[in-house]
Amino acid sequence: MLTREKNELLVRTGPGTPMGELFRRYWIPALLSEEIPEPDCPPVRVKLLGEELIAFRDTKGRIGLLDEFCAHRTASLFFGRNEECGLRCSYHGWKFDVDGNCVDMPSEPETSTFKNRVRLKAYPCVELAGIVWTYMGPPERRPALPELEWATLDADRRFVSKRWQESNYLQAMEGGIDSSHVSFAHRYNIDDDPMHAGTEGLKYLKADTRPKFEVAESDGGLVIGARRTAGDRSYYWRITQWIMPWYTIIPPFGTHNPMGGHAWIPIDDENCWAWSINYHPTRALTEPELASMRAGEGIHVKYIPGTYRPVANKTNDYLIDREAQRERRSFSGVEGISAQDFSLQESMGAIVDRSKERLGTSDAAIILARRRLLDALKLLDEEGPLPGAAPEHQRVRSASLVLPDSVPFQEGARDALIAVPGREFVSI
Amino acid sequence: MLTREKNELLVRTGPGTPMGELFRRYWIPALLSEEIPEPDCPPVRVKLLGEELIAFRDTKGRIGLLDEFCAHRTASLFFGRNEECGLRCSYHGWKFDVDGNCVDMPSEPETSTFKNRVRLKAYPCVELAGIVWTYMGPPERRPALPELEWATLDADRRFVSKRWQESNYLQAMEGGIDSSHVSFAHRYNIDDDPMHAGTEGLKYLKADTRPKFEVAESDGGLVIGARRTAGDRSYYWRITQWIMPWYTIIPPFGTHNPMGGHAWIPIDDENCWAWSINYHPTRALTEPELASMRAGEGIHVKYIPGTYRPVANKTNDYLIDREAQRERRSFSGVEGISAQDFSLQESMGAIVDRSKERLGTSDAAIILARRRLLDALKLLDEEGPLPGAAPEHQRVRSASLVLPDSVPFQEGARDALIAVPGREFVSI
Amino acid sequence: MLTREKNELLVRTGPGTPMGELFRRYWIPALLSEEIPEPDCPPVRVKLLGEELIAFRDTKGRIGLLDEFCAHRTASLFFGRNEECGLRCSYHGWKFDVDGNCVDMPSEPETSTFKNRVRLKAYPCVELAGIVWTYMGPPERRPALPELEWATLDADRRFVSKRWQESNYLQAMEGGIDSSHVSFAHRYNIDDDPMHAGTEGLKYLKADTRPKFEVAESDGGLVIGARRTAGDRSYYWRITQWIMPWYTIIPPFGTHNPMGGHAWIPIDDENCWAWSINYHPTRALTEPELASMRAGEGIHVKYIPGTYRPVANKTNDYLIDREAQRERRSFSGVEGISAQDFSLQESMGAIVDRSKERLGTSDAAIILARRRLLDALKLLDEEGPLPGAAPEHQRVRSASLVLPDSVPFQEGARDALIAVPGREFVSI
């Protein structure tokens, strides 16, 4: 349970809001590189933290992320011409470079110096892992570039997709932190998933359906341990990483399978991007794996063609299949791991009223994550990187392993939770 | 005409509103039994008086009407599993019985007593006449079960349907109280309707198109008499019953035809359920009659498949046919008694601004009905049943008959206006 | 740039707003005559300046423009019966004549005098140029009938269409005042347009893409000169007329081509009618010209069948064709002069926030037009016609011509800018 005031603090991320200010201090996954695939390609609309922007790749391959609306008369630059190192408004021909400078103003006399005084809001961008990232905060507070493990791997070792979710980012992210729902929402899908098949972990998971949770603060967020009995005097641990402010990493099933992770990025207060990443730290993804991901399986989704919106969505009750529900092929009747999650998260309403919740011990990670986000608001004026913004906060892994019951999981899994390039991850 | 303040009092029925509090003191038609046809069938969403609820029939056939959103994290129970005497949320498996008790909380430790402290809002339900009725008020003020004549008949003597109306309940109900519009909105359809054919009443109805209205308060609502000349020194009376707070009974045409009635139930302030009932107190409905009702004729409608919304609706201007209007096959160009009414009622806007009306003598019943509703607000703290809530208020009938012009209709029709089981009703 | 307060003053035109009061002092193009083509035809909904109205042509051919909602119980008169010199509500049969008088009240006793006290809001109408015009202001301030040149020509010399635009009227009208955008938004279409082909003007237009603007106040609005170099010591002038409060006339290309003009009429604050008129003052339009206009070419559009909404619209990104944009067949990728304009105007949002603009010298006409509209608010209580309301303010033309560089355009083009019936207009 949360007071309405604290809930409002957490869910509002537009310009001028406290959480919006915090989020603007981090690098933000903004769009897929494939959306602006080549120099001088058409610009695309991007909405982030309530701001309407336009992204384009200029003639030299540089990426611009500008205010969507021309500085002159506010026409949308979506209709603009991307040519000769700038985006030119189709209304009166004003042209802007990737830094937001007005570099041509052909509607004014050639001698005019007006254009030198005109700038469009522009955010710096970098490309990493097939994603265009941006930084929307004060320049002097810009953090180091992202070093999340999946963001630093060679291209053949990861697959990235994004999906429009019709809800506030927080209830989406809470789903990523919350290991507890896996035993329910995904119960009848865990077996089927080829990524789980035959692992030792799956055996323990099925044998003990009431895990105990232990949550520890890490430098960059939380480490969330779910503990199950694993024979005599030992525990099977599934450990989830939450990296502030919005990354989660799924505990893996066996080292032969790729890992999975997410980023939960506010579009505005009632919509968010759910980014889904599969990656393997030590080998290339196989063609069958990639084919399955491209087909929208696992944590990815099937799209409505020409969009990043799922075919199964709110307007069609997520294609719920009551027969499948009855016959225990799907716990909720919705098909697919991903849709099982977002159908429930969207069903809570665009923004959850957390004053109506009743939280239990299994919600400890969610409670702590909210607290860490609220606490981070107090660090805005401090020196040094914010939690989750430093590279060393990001070089972490989730893991699954068996430990003696006498060993605290943070201790027993210490090495397993650190991402070391080229080193195999730990999972059974 | 009504002040804006009084209009607001009348049209707002959400939690905490005065009229909402009044309405919660009555049994409310909530959904059709056929929507939850058997034990453990899928749950359905129900919205009443602005409250979002979920209805289900448990393994033992008991009906639950609960808050739609799980007490835990507010996921919708629409995605829930209805099994083993309870509805289980698909997110973390919390399970609720028909009384709203949390009977299983598998995400918490087995020893936890947390679930004993968790309840979901639950409203008691009864099934009568193919309808699930609920009571949303304080338990100690629950009235006797409905004894409306149509609700107490054997199943083969009645046919019940419901229809989504895109307007506030009040303007819909006012159409049911208002006999005056029949001569206009339905003018060219009265002859055609096989239910009117060849009746003596129809002859009088057509001969005198300017009825005079007399309205009397009954214990449970209003008795509304529409008087027409019927030869020398006698009147043809068509008498409508309004039973508080939202039932109307149509004056019949001949005793060989079924009677008709309605209930007008707020979904929220801008939508309502129009319930339509045909019934015959002393005989089973015939197969041709039922076929016509199922086909959406008379007071029923043709639905968009899979919904209770009419095919002819606001988005398509109710399929208005200007040729039919010109050629006097339909007064307004809209086809069907039912659509003729709701097209006009919805055209007034979602909520009528009654400060702009100009009411005449033919609106006497509407004026009085509003007054009775407003007056009833003062009775909320009184002992005893509210008007319309007592069984004896509900055992009434509408009627049509000829009386000498010297006899007041309440007197001449006294017996005709009482519903006595097994006794033929009065109509010519 | 405009303060938010001034912007609000300019864009709000509903009842009771200052700009709404000003606009109600002018004759307003309300609907096409063809929408109510004959006596007793079906009524049509008309929304103007935020008021919901119903238009009909009575048995004698007189036009009524009334409040859409019946005075009785506020049912929409869209469902009314248009017959025997009045529009009869389908709910209870109240009937209104073109002046808003209630001429029949069949639901009330024959002896009732109630109907004499009931009136519906009614606005006077006239038909001119295939348009029904109305006047919504105080009767004693009604101005002379419109004498815009195109409104006074024989029917075979003009073609009129209207189009729903999803934006405030002001940003639409500013597009009509703003000659500067032609060189950009329409750049690759100017050559193709058969109306421009082979004219001397086109040669100059293409040779000098940075026109200088000179704007002068006229009695009725503005005269806007765009000056381009035309050889030695002479200028090619394209002169646009803005007639208050909402008419614009496009500078012509050659006297053999029809002229073009527009009217920009608020539907409500977020929508407007863009009226488009082609006309030739001294000859009938040819069949090929009319065929092209009816096909939605030039300043007209292709409609969604049964509506006045364009096929290319906001929901489909105006069918933008990025290939056409890249290959320089269309500057913005949108096809058609008209859609090129309204796509950009609508992209600014329903109502432009003018506090974010950066205006240049090429925006002088827009700046002055706003000022004149704001200044006109101070004239509401003055005697005499408002600017643009007097016939002599309306009898003007746009023109294109070459003048020596020593001659001010208002002087050199004085005669060319006056509309004299039967006199050829001036254009090269």
Q: What's the pLDDT at A203?
A: 85
* Chain B residues lying within 8 Å of C91, measured CB to CB: 181, 184-185, 344
* pLDDT tens, residue by residue, B11-33: 999 999 999 999 999 999 999 99
DSSP B302: P
Mean pLDDT for C157-186 is 94
CA atoms within 13 A on the CB side of A4: 0
DSSP C210: S
Q: Is C271 helix (H, G, I), strand (E, B) or coil?
A: strand
Q: What's the pLDDT at C188?
A: 85
Measured between CA atoms, the residue of chain B closest to residue A171 is B73
User: How far is residue C166 from each of residues A74, A380, C26, measured CA to CA in Å?
Assistant: 16, 42, 23
Nearest chain B CA: its distance from A347 CA (Å)? 5
Cβ distance A357 to B72 less than 8 Å, yes or no, reads yes
CA distance A228 to B39: 35
Task: State whether residue B390 sits within 8 Å of chain A by CB.
Answer: no
With a cut of 90, say whether residue B101 has pLDDT above it.
yes
Q: What's the pLDDT at C326?
A: 96
Find tokens 């053999």 and name the residue: C256
Q: What's the pLDDT at C366?
A: 97
* Chain B residues lying within 8 Å of C105, measured CB to CB: 360
* pLDDT tens, residue by residue, A262-281: 999 999 999 999 999 999 99
Contact C161, C407 (CB under 8 A): no
Task: State whether residue B59 sits within 8 Å of chain A by CB.
Answer: no
Nearest chain B CA: its distance from A364 CA (Å)? 11
Cβ distance B353 to C74 less than 8 Å, yes or no, reads yes
Cβ distance B360 to C90 less than 8 Å, yes or no, reads no
Cβ distance B357 to C107 less than 8 Å, yes or no, reads no
* Chain A residues lying within 8 Å of B106, measured CB to CB: 183-184, 209-210
Q: Which residues contact A33 (CB under 8 A, 6 or more apart)?
A: A127, A130, A131, A132
Give the residue from B58, B43, B72, B31 showing the smallest Cα distance to A333: B43
* ipTM reported for the complex, 2 dp: 0.95
Cβ distance C74 to B356 less than 8 Å, yes or no, reads yes
DSSP A124: -
Give the residue from A367, A364, A391 showing the smallest Cα distance to A220: A391
Beta strands in C189-338 (DSSP E): 212-217, 221-229, 234-243, 247-250, 259-268, 271-279
| Long-range contacts at B310-316 (CB < 8 A, ≥ 24 apart) | B310/B163, B310/B164, B310/B338, B310/B339, B310/B342, B312/B336, B312/B339, B312/B343, B313/B166, B314/B166, B314/B346
Take residue B211 and report the two structure tokens written for it: 């009825």
* Residue from the list B320, B340, B361 with its beta carbon closest to the beta carbon of C109: B361
**What's the pLDDT band for B425 if we cut at 50, 70, 90?**
very high
Q: How far is CA A315 from the centre of its chain?
A: 24
Cβ distance C73 to B348 less than 8 Å, yes or no, reads yes
CA atoms within 13 A on the CB side of C236: 23
Give the residue from B240, B160, B291, B295 showing the smallest Cα distance to B413: B240
Cβ distance C79 to B344 less than 8 Å, yes or no, reads yes
Dihedral (CA of A222, A223, A226, A227) sign: negative
Measured between CA atoms, the residue of chain B closest to residue C70 is B357
Task: State whether residue B353 sits within 8 Å of chain C by CB.
Answer: yes
Q: Which residues contact C316 (CB under 8 A, 6 or more apart)?
A: none
Cβ distance C210 to A107 less than 8 Å, yes or no, reads yes
With a cut of 90, say whether residue C183 has pLDDT above it.
no
Opening angle at CA B137, ends B277 and B371, nearest 5: 65
Contact B259, B398 (CB under 8 A): yes
With a cut of 80, say whether residue C196 has pLDDT above it.
no
Q: Cβ of A283: how many Cβ atoms within 10 Å? A: 12
Mean pLDDT for B144-156 is 97
Angle between helices C364-376 and C4-11 (to 10 degrees): 70
Q: Which residues of chain A have pLDDT under 70?
A: 192, 194
With a cut of 90, say whether residue B268 has pLDDT above it.
yes
User: How far is residue A289 from each of residues A130, A156, A157, A279, C146, measured CA to CA in Å?
Assistant: 18, 11, 11, 10, 72
With a cut of 90, say whether residue C44 has pLDDT above it.
yes
Nearest chain A CA: its distance from B385 CA (Å)? 34
**What's the pLDDT band for C179 if we cut at 50, 70, 90?**
confident
Q: What's the pLDDT at A275?
A: 98
Contact B109, B129 (CB under 8 A): no
Q: Which chains touch A (3 or more CB pairs under 8 A)?
A: B, C
Q: What's the pLDDT at B347?
A: 98
Q: What's the pLDDT at A39?
A: 98
* Residue from the list C181, C212, C325 with its beta carbon closest to the beta carbon of A91: C181
* pLDDT tens, residue by residue, C113-150: 999 999 999 999 999 999 999 999 999 999 999 999 99
* pLDDT tens, residue by residue, B294-336: 999 999 999 999 999 999 999 999 999 999 999 999 999 999 9
Q: Which residues contact A129 (CB under 8 A, 6 or more apart)?
A: A150, A151, A152, A153, A155, A158, A160, A277
DSSP string of B3-49, one letter each residue: -HHHHHHHH--STTSHHHHHHTTSEEEEEEGGGS-STTPPPEEEEET
* Chain A residues lying within 8 Å of C181, measured CB to CB: 91-92, 107
Q: What's the pLDDT at B200?
A: 85
Find tokens 């939770």 and name the residue: A417
CA distance A131 to A146: 11
Beta bridge partners of B262: B248, B276
Q: Which chains touch C (3 or more CB pairs under 8 A)?
A: A, B
* Chain B residues lying within 8 Å of C106, measured CB to CB: 183-184, 209-210
- Number of A–C residue contacts, CB under 8 Å: 87
CA distance C299 to C275: 9
Cβ distance B90 to A332 less than 8 Å, yes or no, reads yes
Question: B interface mutation test: which of A182, A344, A354, A357 has the most B CBs within 10 A?
Answer: A344
* Chain B residues lying within 8 Å of A343, measured CB to CB: 79
Q: Which residues contact A364 (CB under 8 A, 6 or more apart)?
A: A213, A215
Instruction: Report the side by side order of strands in the sheet with A27-32.
Output: A27-32, A131-135, A125-128
* Residue from the list B91, B108, B109 with its beta carbon closest to the beta carbon of A181: B91
Q: Which amino acid is at A324?
A: A
User: How far is residue B95 from each of residues B85, B107, B118, measured CA to CA in Å?
Assistant: 9, 11, 10
- Number of A–B residue contacts, CB under 8 Å: 86
Q: How many residues does chain A have?
A: 428
CA distance A405 to B42: 43
Give, for A238, the enclosing helix (H) or strand (E): strand A234-243
* Chain A residues lying within 8 Å of C349, measured CB to CB: 74
Q: What's the pLDDT at B290?
A: 97
Q: Is B288 helix (H, G, I), strand (E, B) or coil?
A: helix
* Chain A residues lying within 8 Å of C353, measured CB to CB: 74
